[in-house]
Structure 1
Amino acid sequence: MPPRDAQATKARILQAAVAEFAEHGHAGGRVERIAREAGTNIRMIYAYFGNKDGLFDAALTSAIQSMAARVPPRPDDLPAWAGELFDYHQREPAALRINMWAQLERPQAASEPLESYLAKTTAVAGTDSAPLTAVDLLVFIYAVSQAWYLTPVGLLKADGGDPQAPERIAAHRDAVITAVTRIVQPGSTDLTRQRPEGAHHD
């Protein structure tokens, strides 16, 4: 039997835990399902993470840090970064979902000053965005880039359109970029440069 790779096992557990808790939350998530999906057992999960709370907190941290690594701040082009965050949530909604569950069920975990948030605050601190502070600016960018995914479906359908139509999603993405542009570049009218060439939304 080959030696156990502890880091690989922990990585599989965290990947399975992010998916499970994003779908079901802390209360509804089942460690048994996580163990099965990760190809391990409950005893091993508790050995690594202590208990269900520890596993949830580690999964939350993993999801946030993964997003931070894959969509790092772009202080030189914050509108483009907002568009990239919008795209990330479209492709991989687990990070936003598990964070929302944390806000509801484990606010003590969600309120931790994680290094990724501190790093982002530092990254945008030099941006000329008066009168907004770096934290204000981050809150605004996150709010507008996540709004589409947090809005009730009934409201998104209120105009009779299909919220999941590619052109509708693209239009909302443009609106996100426009909003951030007008905050950080008052008076700017050149907003078309922000959409990546060939961008599409699945």
Structure 2
Amino acid sequence: MPARDSQATKARILEAAVTEFAEHGLAGGRIERIAREAGSNVRMIYAYFDNKDGLFDAALTSAIQSMAAKVAPRPEDLPGWAGDLFDYHRAEPAALRINMWAQLERPEAASEPLESYLAKTTALAGADAAPLTAVDLLVFIYAVSQAWYLTPVGLLKADGANPDDPRRIAAHREAVVAAVTRIARPVT
């Protein structure tokens, strides 16, 4: 019988948990579905994560850390970074979705680890965006890069256009990049 790879099992559980919780939230997420999707069992989930809240917190952290690794801040190109964040949320919405569920159902776990925020604000500290602080700038960039995905579909359709039209999405991405360009390099 082959040896069990606990790290691989834990990684599969986390991947399945991110998907489940992003789709259904903490209250709607089911440990049994996560175990089945991960090719594991409920007992192993509780052995690794103690309880459902622990698994949710680990899945949230995993999703956010994955996003941070794939789309790290680029102080030398804040507009490009904002565009990349916009693209990331379109391609991989799980981090945004699970974070929104956390805001609603488990606010004490809803923020990135403080170290992550400190690293990002430190990276942006030298960015030319007076009078904004690095924190203000980070909040603004996240807000504009996520806005399209957090806007009610009815509002996105209010002008009669299809919000999923690739030209419309490209135009919104351009607007995100332009907004960050203006605020990161204010006209003096």
Q: Same fold (TM over 0.5)?
A: yes
Secondary structure, in 3 states, of the residue corresponding to 1:8?
A: helix
* 1:114–1:37 distance in 2 versus 1, CA, 3 Å: farther
- AA aligned to 1:81 is W
**TM superposition shift of 1:82:** 0.1
Q: Deviations over 1:28-70 (max 9, x none)?
A: 0000000000000000000000000000000000000000000
* 1:84–1:112 distance in 2 versus 1, CA, 3 Å: closer
Report the count of equivalent residues. Answer: 188
Equivalent-residue separation in structure 2 for 1:153 and 1:75 (angstroms): 32
- AA aligned to 2:99 is N
Secondary structure, in 3 states, of the residue corresponding to 2:178?
A: helix
Extract unaligned runs of 5+ from structure 2: none
Q: Conserved in 2, the CA contact under 8 Å of 1:82 and 1:145?
A: yes
Secondary structure, in 3 states, of the residue corresponding to 1:76?
A: helix
Equivalent-residue separation in structure 2 for 1:108 and 1:26 (angstroms): 13
TM-score, normalised relative to structure 2: 0.98
Equivalent-residue separation in structure 2 for 1:88 and 1:113 (angstroms): 20
Q: Conserved in 2, the CA contact under 8 Å of 1:99 and 1:110?
A: yes
Aligned equivalent of 2:117: 117
TM-score, normalised relative to structure 1: 0.91
**TM superposition shift of 1:112:** 5.3
Please list, as runs of the form range in 1=range in 2, the aligned pairs for 1:52-201 lying within 5 A after superposition.
Answer: 52-111=52-111, 113-187=113-187
Equivalent-residue separation in structure 1 for 2:144 and 2:103 (angstroms): 18
Secondary structure, in 3 states, of the residue corresponding to 1:77?
A: helix
Q: Deviations over 1:107-139 (max 9, x none)?
A: 000135343222111110111211111110000
Q: Conserved in 2, the CA contact under 8 Å of 1:64 and 1:116?
A: no
Secondary structure, in 3 states, of the residue corresponding to 2:56?
A: helix
Cα RMSD after superposing both structures: 1.1
Q: Deviations over 1:128-180 (max 9, x none)?
A: 21111111000000000000000000000000000000000000000000000
Extract unaligned runs of 5+ from structure 1: 189-202
Identity %: 83
